[in-house]
Structure 1
Amino acid sequence: MSRSDMSAPACLSAVTEWLQKLDIALDAQDPDRLADLFLPEADWRDLVSFTWDIRTTLGAREAAAELIARNHDVKASGFALAPARTAPRVAVRAGDDVVEGFFTFETAFGHGEGVVRLDLAAGEPLRARTLLTTLQELTGFEERRGANRPHGTAYSRTFGGKNWLDLRQEEQRYDDRSPEVLIVGAGQAGLSIAARLRTIGVDALIVDKHERVGDVWRKRYHSLTLHNESWVASLPYVPYPDTWPTYIPKDKLGNWFEHYADIMELNVWTSTEFVGGTYDEDEQIWTVTVRREGAERVLRPRHVVIATGGVSGVPNRPRLAGLEDFRGDVLHSTQYTSGARFENRKALVVGTGTSGHDVAQDLHALGCEVDIVQRQPTTVVSLEPSGIMVYALYSEGTPTEDVDLIAAANSFPTLIKANQILAQRMLEADKDILDRLHAVGFRTDIGEDGTGFHLKYNRRGGGYYINVGCSDLIADGEIGLLQADQIATFTPQGLELVDGSTREYDLVVLATGYRNQQEEVRAFFGDAVADKVGLIWGVDDGGEMRNVWRPTAQRGLWFNAGSLAACRGNSKYLAVQILAALQGMSPGYRETERG
């Protein structure tokens, strides 16, 4: 069947018919009938609705068997077109022509929504290439927004009583209670999950070591600007004003975070360090200590969410021969805010990921003589058009919440296929700058499996650079380039190279990334918890992100992390899982860790 055969009414009819068949096959518990609705190589991705986890099942037979097995408990039914979502339409996903439709369904626990993609190439009857099911909210705990918004009676017309401000200040003090959920970190990860939890009635407190909400961005290097477009990188519920620039400066973003915490009525303690804690398996409760303005406070939350950045936790400081003898300044990129005090001096930046390039470019702009050290090949793409290709759907007029659901429908095999196609387009678009980089000895790659920079971020959290000018400076020789294997050792004055020559520097910046967040868990909760939980971030054997947005092996311990878009979309499912655990609907932990 061709794209031209599928008018809007035909798309609507095809999706409606397929959903009716799904409902019947599930109700009949008929694995053969259910499997026949899918291409043999199809996949089913579930976000919480059937599995209380984030899981992908590959293959029609496997998906059918798992759907039926899981449905004994969740009792999903009533699959129908989603009236409030984008209408079914023809789309190209990972190079395949499909009819894509949104649908709703109900379970014994709550309201579900999903996406189905019917393949057009295989002919009739149309069968699914991809199925996504998600649990959007629990029955009785629907989001308090829109028609379901709070009425305000608690503080309206209470003449002589407490007004809204009195109640807010009292709530945030936690004088006589502990929060149900303690969130560590007030960046996008912490704010997004706090907003989701508050909107479904869960008492959550954010603690952050910085003086102000948003300092996690304000205190980064002076020239930092987001590399994602503003309409992609928003927080839940509140988009940026449409007068805002496409690429948001860090201080503007930090100010927005502070504004967001206020208007969303989030409970935040700033200047508060999370010291650590222990978990009582019998009581299923944490005892944690925080240090606020020099005084310690013990809290007993049911759940703890670590929202300190995932791949941006403990700085990685590699052992570099002779570096301890260097007499100049040595900073990790996390400590670099501005190179103003090094103006017109000599600097060496170690690392060619995003931070390394940005620091080098900032120093160069201050008149410094800068060299950059490459330790491994780097995926380099232009900001436009290549850098924005992976988020192109957000620019096409589809509502953000719908695009978030479309993105959630992509299993890891689908992501691999889609990003391989995009990576080839990026190579063509960026041929000129890549050729110029290669000419000066800069090494590039297009990621594992040829999937480009986006999946490099998912797999390892770095190793790429979206060019905002530094690649041109390297290609033109304005910023010097050294390969790591050219360096023999650091000296008190700088470097000795393997050819016997030397170079002098006043500053060394280690843009060498971060250790896995498991080490942060180890510092907070000890070896036993860290070893039980395992690695955080990266792709596990099932094609899902390790321990992020889903149950971990430690009951009551969760992680939110990633870009603003990732935190916005996935915080919904994380919040539903935490609420389900609080209500005793799900265990709130995973028996075994995959990958």
Structure 2
Amino acid sequence: MVGAGPSGIAVSACLNKLDIKNVVLEKEDCCAYLWKKKTYDRLHLHLSKEFCSLPFMPHATSSPKYLPKIEFIQYLDGYVEHFNIKPKFQNCVELAFYNNDKKKWNVKSRHVASGEMEWYACDFLILSTQKNNEGYIPKVVGIENFNGEIIHSSDYKFGEKYKDKKVLVVGLGNSGMEIAFDLSNYGCHTSIVVRSPIHVLTREMVHIGMVLLKYLPLSLVDIVIVKIAKFKFGNLAEFGIPQPEKGPFSVKISKGTSPVIDVGAIVKIKLEEIKHYSSIFFDDGTLMNKFPNHWKGENGIYYAGFSKKGIAGISIDSITIVDDIKAVRGDKI
């Protein structure tokens, strides 16, 4: 297994429960590296905790409905300990190929510190590095002439160092929205680039929608949530934030794009405390296979955490993958 983030540890836990031997290779020095070292301080889970647990370990009843970063990290560490997951840290996978003659995957890893190489032969290979493993900064014409600081959102912690400075946030996704809000609160002259149509909701709206989806058709839930959002925020297109033609949950299912959770930035945009601009930047990247078959490739290779459905998607992926491995191995359920 490649990667010891939430996806990797979830699959490993499912395998451990069945006493199926597995090795987790992680190039960093800890589990959930992105959560621990590449997220901003004010981060909270955008879905309520019942939708954000990994397999076989719900969140404590005493924990808050929307977990802050530090509590979710504690949950992940507790998960690793509870299921006796022991990743091999600082092992970077450099090569993997399928040997048709032996019907095995061959994987070469290199220890980051010592440079020592190690080979593994396995029946199944699970990639759990997820799509946001590496920060991407697009190439922009003329950017080489910019003398200021350029950072990816994964390197942002809080806005104090940017007080009284002009800061442009590219992208009004969840990270962009919250970082822009944080910067503005620290007294920065904040602007944001709105790259494409988005749905803006609150955490409570998303929770209502998730509950309604258990009982009502997707199209009807979309209509209800869009009307609630419009009542709350008004017509955001008037403020340079266009809305997609499809509803928020339809967009999530068809494109994997989550609605943006407002933490207070919309009021600041309306008051022009945060200025907005249009943009020509576009994201790239596709799944190995399209949803809902994204989790499985050929010859025993699997992809955990690529569904773009957050922690809930990770949980579903891990159980689905291990169920398939059981079927291939002929294990009793």
Normalising by structure 1, we get a TM-score of 0.51
Distance apart, 1:457 and its partner CA:
2.9
Q: Is the 8 A contact 1:303 1:556 kept in 2?
A: yes
Give the CA deviation at 1:331: 1.8
Residue by residue over 1:71-130, the C-alpha shift from the partner in whole angstroms, topping out at 9 and shown as x without a partner, is xxxxxxxxxxxxxxxxxxxxxxxxxxxxxxxxxxxxxxxxxxxxxxxxxxxxxxxxxxxx
1:303 to 124, 127, 132: 124
How far apart are 1:245 and its partner, in Å?
Answer: 0.5
SS at match of 1:222: coil
Alignment partners' CA distance in 1, 2:273 and 2:235: 13
Equivalent residue pairs, number: 326
2:247 to 437, 442, 451: 451
Q: Are residues 431 and 357 of structure 1, via their aligned partners in 2, closer, same or farther at CA, if it must alter by over 3 Å?
A: same
Q: Given the superposition, is the C-alpha separation of residues 216 and 432 from structure 1 closer, same or farther in structure 2, using an over 3 Å criterion?
A: same
In structure 2, relative to structure 1, the CA distance for the partners of 1:444 and 1:194 (3 Å cut) is same
Which one-letter code corresponds to 2:302 in the other structure? W
| Secondary structure class of the residue paired with 2:151 | strand
| 8 Å CA contact retained: 1:390, 1:422 | yes
Q: Secondary structure of 1:266's partner?
A: coil
Mapped to 1, the partners of 2:27 and 2:268 lie a distance apart of: 36
Which residue is equivalent to 1:465?
Answer: 260
Matches within 5 A, 1:190-589: 190-219=8-37, 220-292=39-111, 293-294=113-114, 295-309=116-130, 311-384=131-204, 386-392=205-211, 418-435=217-234, 437-445=236-244, 447=245, 450-452=246-248, 454-462=249-257, 464-484=259-279, 515-516=285-286, 535-536=287-288, 538-539=290-291, 545-548=292-295, 551-552=296-297, 554-561=298-305, 562-583=309-330
Q: Deviations over 1:310-340 (max 9, x none)?
A: x424544333222222111112223333334
State the secondary structure of the residue aligned to 1:300: strand
- Look up the equivalent residue of 1:302 and give its one-letter code: D
1:538 deviates by 4.4
Which moved further from structure 2: 431-440 or 462-471? 431-440
Q: 1:461 to 1:344 in 2, by over 3 A?
A: farther
The residue that corresponds to 1:42 in the other structure is none
- Give the deviation of 1:584 after TM superposition: 9.5
Paired AA for residue 238 in structure 2: A
- Tell me the SS of whatever aligns to 2:70: helix
Q: Which has the higher strand share?
A: 1
Whether the 8 Å contact between 1:389 and 1:422 is mirrored in structure 2 is no
Q: Where in structure 2 are the equivalents of 1:63-82 lying within 5 Å?
A: none
Aligned-pair distance for 1:277? 1.5
- How far apart are the structure 1 equivalents of 2:102 and 2:2? 22
* Mapping for residues 15-94 of structure 1, pairs under 5 Å: none
Q: Which amino acid aligns with 2:191?
A: D
Task: Tell whether the 8 Å contact from 1:437 to 1:474 is kept in structure 2 after alignment.
Answer: no
1:462-498 superposed Cα distances (whole Å, 9 cap, x missing partner): 263022222222122111111127xxxxxxxxxxxxx
d(CA) in 2 for partners of 1:566, 1:575? 14
Gaps in structure 2 of 5+ consecutive residues: none
The runs of 5 or more residues in structure 1 that have no matched partner are 1-182, 395-405, 408-416, 486-509, 517-534, 540-544, 586-595
Q: Distance in 2 between matches of 1:373 and 1:558?
A: 36
Deviations 1:187-221 (A, max 9, x none): 22111111111111211122222322233212212
- TM-score, structure 2 length as denominator? 0.88
Q: Deviations over 1:434-458 (max 9, x none)?
A: 425333232222x5xx332x33233
Q: CA deviation at 1:564?
A: 1.5
Give the partner amino acid of 1:291. Answer: R
Task: Name the Cα RMSD after superposition.
Answer: 2.6
C-alpha distance 348-560 of structure 1, shift in aligned 2 (>3 A): same
**Equivalent residue number for residue 133 of structure 1:** none
Q: 1:393 to 1:192 in 2, by over 3 A?
A: farther
| 3-state secondary structure, aligned to 2:106 | strand
**Separation in 2 of the partners of 1:484 and 1:263?**
46
- Deviation track 1:273-303 (CA, whole Å, cap 9, x = no partner) reads 2222221012111221222333322222221
Letter in 2 for 1:581: V
